[in-house]
Structure 1
């Protein structure tokens, strides 16, 4: 494979060992495409590019999370941006634990462990009793980073943390996932000439990956796409994997709550006529671009979340939809300004960076509006303070 063929000029080139890892994964994907008759649906390509053991983006050993491209990272998340995110999230988590009478926590895709360490310390400071903090993460490299972070930042509570290789059949407590849904494989569909086709991945004669389209074969897919009432050229994603994940965790949850935080829109906004290019995006060294075939296994591939489908998936299991709102409103309701107020404004070296980070978390021009929080529950009768005002469940 020509490493320059899918390299936008703005992207730095990886080192020789990383490039060799990418080529090994690309060769495996090409072989799978050949075995499948020359075509794979895009969600299968995305799954391999992100999660292939030892080679995929989340299955390999790249840095991923950080503030600058110089540290080898590709993007930053809210827990990395400010410890006040975890300190504030701890409040609705504590309220859900108390309201459900449960004592266990579980986090999916824990990144570097910053959110886990922050939550552990904040819950301890709030005098909230809890027994275990379970982490579900497919990456062995990230598990080690999480372990090191927790032992360094929450040493007195590290013994309560455990890593799971498989989900339990039942769980009582609070589940959390920050930027988990957007990293799940999506399917691509293209509308043209009044017909929908599924966009997948093929291989050109020169060995390069390329998009290739096939007729929609599933009656269920055809019915859903027809319901969108799209006219003209349009590219859309569907979130089968994210919906399946939501059904799984809401079925597993026998008592307690599940909080999912991610960027996205309700269905009527997601499939808006003006979003005709879809939302698929790639991230490499803090640069965003639209080519998923660049350096397979070395870059993140993501799509915005269609939250109406997530809500439907959870409710189908019998779980209650506890709330849905913007991240900004959720954090304000949960008391992030009070948490910020615990820092002395006279201590400018601490207060000013913290205030700037809170602005990014809350601002409509930053993360406050694009990111949403959706929560499901069983056995919780009351409305959590974090959803007390500005709840947008009616927009789903």
Structure 2
């Protein structure tokens, strides 16, 4: 209605201005009397005042007609213009009711409305993806946390039913392992929650130093599994949180070791400036292992999803909690970097973590 009235008022104002210009022009130009050129001929021509009066009356009727046409035409034009907004409103109401799968999919020429509809559809895509990911996260987290508790309860129930037939040393060891798994999952979930709620404190640091510390932590595990690690750790100055960067490097190395060949595998580790862009530094971790499909790799950063699905490895020394790469992805996002996971043609995974390089005097 507001658009219709605006169209009508604009039409009325334009018509009134046109009538005023014509009226003024006829009143003052020309300025000679309307008489016959022959003085003996008496003309019946109307006077100037009669012409002006007739002009005003005719103009008034014309303006009334233009107003009516403007109201009707403006109503239809406004309805046609605002029709895409009705579709957007309907989609917004469906989304508010929880139906995130609906899309506007506005067709027609490219204009402000189609751009708005496309932006709205893109927002719904992200919301749906985020909502579904959180639903999977909640379901998987409850399952992962319930598993060690259920195992502990079962072992305690068996021990209570037959206390004399138990190997208490073995039972205590199994309980400690199960309890440790629950602690690791809980700590990983807390780390993810902290990254989501508040940004970390960033200071000038060296990605190579954090990676070197993580490498020292996994040396014993690599030796135990017969996996050779080749490291080229060139300086990679950046602005970041040393603790989080060390944790990200540690998770990548543990992932490369635990998802490798049973024995005789390799891991290649490098740090330094990104070859194609010195404004970024790069950490790469490449490992041998089973073949992976691009579809499988695309889900590895989701919580509790492993290369073999949601099933943990049977070997306790190779068992993870399914949050390692999820934490790496969260740390990368908190540092304004990018994480890329690419399956190797011969098996295994190639991971690149790029962060903005440290600029300014401190870099030297």
Indicate the TM-score class for this superposition, using the shorter chain for normalisation. Answer: under 0.3
The answer to which structure, 1 or 2, has the higher relative contact order (CA under 8 A, 6+ apart) is: 1
Larger Rg: 2
TM-score (norm 2): 0.25
Name the one with the larger helix percent.
2
TM-score when normalising by structure 1 = 0.24
Structure with more strand by fraction:
1
